[in-house]
């Protein structure tokens, strides 16, 4: 259904080109004179796709508002996100209905021989609506056809302006986001070279440390705000469809913990919008004493993650919420020393004993003494 709605909506809007040309030059179905019989095939295909869009959007509305699937009624969708989805679905139904209404009235006037309405197009779906409009006068049909024409044009233009403010920006960014996906095996984490160097020095006392540059800017570990994240993290945030598949498979979320991978992406996008507006208004040095960590995402959410990658695996457009979670946990641990006590104990053991357990390396094989 999603493929049908997406493909249908995009392909049908090829018709907008002809609609605009006809409006600008006073012609009617100008592409018929160019495409000939192929034009009939295209219009018939557009109508079938329009019906598919209407049915698909209606099913999506039912799933969201009547069946109320669990992933569509979560608290993280309260407010605009829930309305946003319904606005888009209803808009698409109205636009496709206007398209079919325009074709239906056009078809009737072609049959009546009304001037300007040349015989062009094939109407396998809208022809079923002729009984609704058959009793109207020619002037009434022209008014209906023109009203549907204007509604379709204005609706498409309004839709295009609404997209950047909506979760439906994913219809633009989903393709480049998937193309830019991390192709490494899931669970392969990026090591920080500076940390790796320190570990090597610790394990090899004879190693010579690299020279220190006194003018170097101190390194930063992990991410506190969106400005610390990569461009791919930010593209992920804008590519999020808010479908909730990630949250629905998250074991932490299923056991009642605060973590919702979908909320992580939505919070990242909201914070990015806030920072962007601040920079536009106040310049690149804008500071509002807020950050993604704590003001949007709490440490409790971050530490609830098991790093199982279920959310990454479930995402239909290859978004990686886990990468953002791990980077923010790195900041908590390495910049703020704010790891949970259990982890601090493990870190201490690794540092002193080269293992997570509280045993001296010399005692590591004592377990076999009683065998």
132 three-state secondary structure:
helix
- In the chain, CATH 1.10.1060 covers 168-183+221-339
Beta-carbon neighbour count of residue 117 at 10 Å?
Answer: 21
For domain 168-183+221-339, give the fold: Fumarate Reductase Iron-sulfur Protein; Chain B, domain 2 (1.10.1060)
Place of tokens 């204005």: 154
Judge contact between 320 and 236, C-beta under 8 A.
Answer: yes
Q: Is the dihedral of CA 341, 197, 181, 230 positive or negative?
A: positive
Q: State the pLDDT at residue 61.
A: 96
Contacts for 294 with CB less than 8 Å, ≥ 6 apart: none
Token digits of residue 275: 């920072």
Residue-wise pLDDT for 299-355, tens only, equals: 999 999 999 999 999 999 999 999 999 999 999 999 998 999 889 899 889 888 888
pLDDT averaged per 10 residues in sequence order, the chain, 371 residues: 84 83 89 89 92 95 94 90 92 93 93 89 92 91 93 90 91 94 88 82 79 77 94 96 95 95 97 95 90 96 96 95 96 92 89 85 86 89
Residue 360 Ramachandran class (φ > 0 left, ψ -120 to 50 alpha, else beta): beta
Q: State the pLDDT at residue 198.
A: 80
Q: State the pLDDT at residue 115.
A: 87
DSSP 173-228: HHHHHHHT---SPTT-PPPPHHHHHHHHHHH-TTPPPPPP-TTSPPP--S-SSGGG
DSSP 125: T
* Buried-exposed string 183-208: b where 16+ CB fall within 10 A, e elsewhere: eeeeeeeeeeeeeeeeeeeeeeeeee
Q: State the pLDDT at residue 104.
A: 94
Q: State the pLDDT at residue 230.
A: 95
**297 backbone dihedrals φ, ψ, rounded to 5°:** -115, 130
Token digits of residue 317: 């457009």
Residue 190 Ramachandran class (φ > 0 left, ψ -120 to 50 alpha, else beta): beta
Residue-wise pLDDT for 2-20, tens only, equals: 888 888 878 877 788 888 8
Token digits of residue 85: 């989805």
CA distances from 241 to 39, 77, 186, 369 (A): 35, 12, 21, 57
CA pair distance 179, 158, nearest whole angstrom: 29
Q: Of 121, 90, 84, give the one whose Cα is nearest residue 104.
A: 121
Q: State the pLDDT at residue 364.
A: 83
């Amino acid at each position: 259904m999603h493929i049908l709605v997406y493909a249908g909506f995009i392909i049908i809007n090829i018709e907008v080109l002809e609609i605009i040309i006809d409006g600008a030059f006073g012609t009617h179905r100008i592409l018929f004179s160019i495409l000939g019989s192929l034009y009939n095939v295209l219009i018939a295909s557009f109508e079938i796709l329009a019906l598919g869009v209407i049915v698909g959007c209606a099913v999506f509305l039912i799933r969201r508002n009547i069946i109320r699937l669990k992933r569509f009624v979560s608290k993280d969708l309260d407010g605009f996100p829930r309305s946003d989805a319904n606005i888009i679905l209803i808009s698409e139904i109205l636009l496709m209905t206007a398209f079919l209404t325009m074709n239906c009235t056009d078809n009737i006037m072609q049959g009546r021989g009304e001037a300007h309405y040349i015989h062009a197009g094939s109407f396998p779906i809208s022809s079923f609506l002729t009984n609704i409009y058959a009793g109207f006068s020619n002037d009434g049909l022209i008014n209906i056809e023109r009203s549907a024409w204007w509604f379709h044009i204005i609706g498409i233009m309004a839709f295009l302006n609404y997209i950047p403010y909506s979760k439906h920006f994913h219809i633009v960014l989903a393709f480049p986001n998937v193309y830019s996906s991390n192709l490494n095996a899931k669970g392969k984490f990026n090591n920080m070279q500076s940390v790796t160097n320190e570990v090597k020095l610790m394990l090899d006392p004879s190693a010579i440390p690299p020279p220190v540059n006194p003018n170097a800017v101190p390194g930063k570990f992990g991410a506190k705000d969106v400005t610390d994240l990569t461009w791919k993290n930010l593209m992920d945030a804008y590519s999020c469809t808010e479908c909730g598949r990630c949250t629905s498979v998250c074991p932490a979320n299923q056991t009642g913990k605060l973590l919702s991978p979908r909320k992580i992406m939505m919070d990242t996008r909201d914070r990015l919008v806030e920072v962007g507006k601040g920079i536009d208004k106040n310049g690149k040095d804008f500071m509002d004493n807020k950050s993604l960590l704590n003001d949007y995402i709490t440490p409790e959410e971050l530490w609830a993650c098991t790093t199982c990658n279920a959310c990454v695996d479930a995402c239909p457009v290859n978004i990686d919420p886990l990468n953002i979670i791990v980077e923010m946990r790195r900041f908590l641990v390495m910049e703020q020393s704010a790891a949970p006590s259990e982890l601090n104990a493990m870190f201490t053991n690794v540092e002193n004993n080269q293992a997570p357990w509280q045993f001296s390396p010399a005692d590591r094989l004592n377990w076999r003494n009683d065998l």
